[in-house]
Amino acid sequence: MITETTVDDLRREVRARLSERTLFSATGMSSIRRGTGRPCDVCGHSIDSPTLEREVEGAGVLGLAHPLCYTMWRAESALIKRPTRWRDSNRASRVSW
């Protein structure tokens, strides 16, 4: 059973691995299918059928994740990218023509 503590731990682990660049950012395309028994790139546990697995495209690499792991991975990846966009749009709004 997944508990709130487990979800929080997973979120922290994903955030740390993204910042260390040991896990690529999940901002590309993904597909979903029945588990193939291969390990999840987020938690390391096998993704067995009938559990669904997400195949995530990165820059020249593919990753696999459980649905919950993928959700955390995708959310944390989006948070990493957001500050750059905000800074760029904020800077543009201060430019006087």
Task: Tell me the pLDDT band of 5, cut-offs 50, 70 and 90.
Answer: low
Sequence ranges of the domains in the chain = 4-84
Per-residue pLDDT, averaged over 14-31, amounts to 93
pLDDT score at 59: 85
Q: How far apart are CA 48 and CA 39, in angstroms?
A: 9
pLDDT score at 6: 86
Q: What radius of gyration do the chain's Cα atoms show?
A: 16
CA distances from 21 to 17, 24, 50, 55, 64 (A): 6, 6, 31, 19, 16
The single-letter DSSP state of residue 67 is H
> What percent of the chain shows pLDDT beyond 90?
67
